[in-house]
Amino acid sequence: MGHGGNIYEIEEKYNIPQNELIDYSANINPLGVPLALKQHIIKNIDTLINYPDPDYRELKTAIAKFHQLQIEDILLGNGAAEVLHAFIRTLKPQNALILQPSFSEYERALELVGTEVMEVYLKEENEFEVDVEAVMRQAEKGVDLIILCNPNNPTGRLIPRPQMIELLDFCEKRGIFLMVDEAFMDFADEENRLTLLQDYRNYQRLFVVRAFTKFFGVPGLRLGFGVTGNKEVIQALKRGSLPWHINSFAAGFGIVLKESNGYISDTYEWLRQEKEIFLQTLQQLKSLKVFKPDGNFILIKLTTDGINTTDLKEKMLEHKILIRECKSFKGLDERFFRVAIKDGATNRYFIEALKKSLGEWE
């Protein structure tokens, strides 16, 4: 399917054990599994003998409190992937507009329900910033749904708030649904954390998708949610929900949210320290064009002729580092790759490995 983070394929193909591989291809908080979650799992391991609460009251209450939402507006998901697929399957739009390059599951989900997909391409000359005017112009031709990833994966840019509000008003007026996937929003700098989670009540056509497991370092746990103030939509989504689709350990994630203050401040401390250094160091390297990231990952372009990411990936794997080639993203090619931001020591090791790999071409 071509997502990042496939360390199993690497183990099989390159004989690098999973626990030795340094995975820069998945954009996960390097602080790792929160202690509160580990304690919760170990303490409650025997409760696997029970079905999870089919209504997930405790979890929904914790999420509502953490993000200041109404419980009844929340749709839980077995990962954000289930949420976005459920929304698209329920809405079943005739025509939808997506950006390219972007997370490939939107297109896949739309194709599964037979939606005609229109695409607006982000332009390298604009640093892949989202041109909201272009989106609206295209949408005026007639779409039922617009899907945005904010910040966008893999290009990393956020849509500024004024433009997002303009788009929201446009959608509201024309009866176009707007799905905004904020999977990486929590990693944005504080002044730029432009979530729509506090706006959803004011827009009947807005559906916001969120993930917990990237920010809290636990993609293996599977937990995401969606939120909308549209009663008809949320009820249809809940009618279609599978029973017990959130496993017991993910259902207990509320304990992490309640005890998250230290983890969150540590995460922002890490990002504050490492993001700028990593970015600047990358920018100093020859052969690279580095795109400014609003989240916790960086899109990079190889600018020297004769170098491509397939070769670079192989060379980096000699250092047991996995990068995310971006040629599977529409609008990108063999010159683009994406890397996560990790802790300082690992980033320095990454830079050394990258220098050596690039140096071999010089």
What is the secondary structure of 209-275 as a DSSP string?
Answer: EEESTTTTT-TTT--EEEE-S-HHHHHHHHHTPPTT-S-HHHHTTHHHHHT-HHHHHHHHHHHHHHH
Q: For residue 211, list its beta bridge partners.
A: 224
Q: Which value, in Å, is the radius of gyration of the alpha carbons in the chain?
A: 20
- Shortest Å distance, C-beta 45 to a copy of itself: 5
Q: C-alpha dihedral over 34, 37, 43, 47, to 10 degrees?
A: -160
Question: How many residues appear in the chain?
Answer: 362
> What CA–CA distance (Å, rounded) separates 76 from 96?
23
Q: Write down the least CB distance from residue 9 to a copy of itself, Å.
A: 8
Q: Return all residues near 267 (Cβ < 8 A) that are at least 6 apart.
A: 29, 31, 215
Which CB atom, from 38 or from 161, has the smaller least distance to a copy of itself?
A: 38
47 secondary structure, DSSP code = G
Query: 7 vs 139, which CB is nearer to a copy of itself?
Result: 7
State the nearest-atom distance from the C-beta of 341 to a copy of itself, in Å.
15
* Distance in angstroms between the alpha carbons of the first and the last residue of the chain: 34
Binding interface with a copy of itself (CB under 8 A): 1, 3-9, 12, 18, 23, 26, 28, 32-33, 37-38, 41-42, 45-55, 57-58, 78-79, 81-82, 85, 105, 112, 217-222, 239-240, 242-245, 247-251
- For the bound state, the minimum distance from the C-beta of residue 6 to a copy of itself, rounded and expressed in Å, comes to 6
Please, which residue, 30 or 160, has the CB nearer to a copy of itself? 30
Kindly report the CA angle at 258 between 72 and 159, in degrees rounded to 5?
65
Q: Which residue's CB is nearer to a copy of itself, number 6 or number 260?
A: 6
CA 319 → CA 72, 117, 221, 351, distances in Å?
Answer: 49, 40, 28, 11
Q: Which two tokens stand for residue 161?
A: 């708030």
Closest approach of Cβ 74 to a copy of itself, in Å? 17
Of 128 and 253, which has the nearer Cβ to a copy of itself? 253
Least distance from a copy of itself to the Cβ atom of residue 14, Å? 15
CB of 227 to a copy of itself, least distance (A): 19
Q: Is the CB of 78 or the CB of 228 nearer to a copy of itself?
A: 78
* 69 versus 211: smaller Cβ distance to a copy of itself: 211
Q: How far is the CB of 307 from a copy of itself (least distance, A)?
A: 28
Compute how many other C-beta atoms are within 10 angstroms of the C-beta atom of residue 334: 15
Q: Cα(184)–Cα(352) distance, rounded to whole angstroms?
A: 27
**Taking the complex as a whole, how short is the minimal distance between the CB of residue 58 and a copy of itself, in angstroms?**
8
- Six-digit token string for 78: 């077995």
Please state, as a whole number, how many other Cβ atoms lie within 10 Å of the Cβ of residue 207: 29
276 φ/ψ angles, rounded to the nearest 5 degrees: -65, -40
Backbone angles phi, psi at 195, to 5 degrees: -65, 150
- Of 145 and 251, the one with the shorter C-beta distance to a copy of itself is 251
- Residue with Cβ nearer a copy of itself (251 or 307): 251
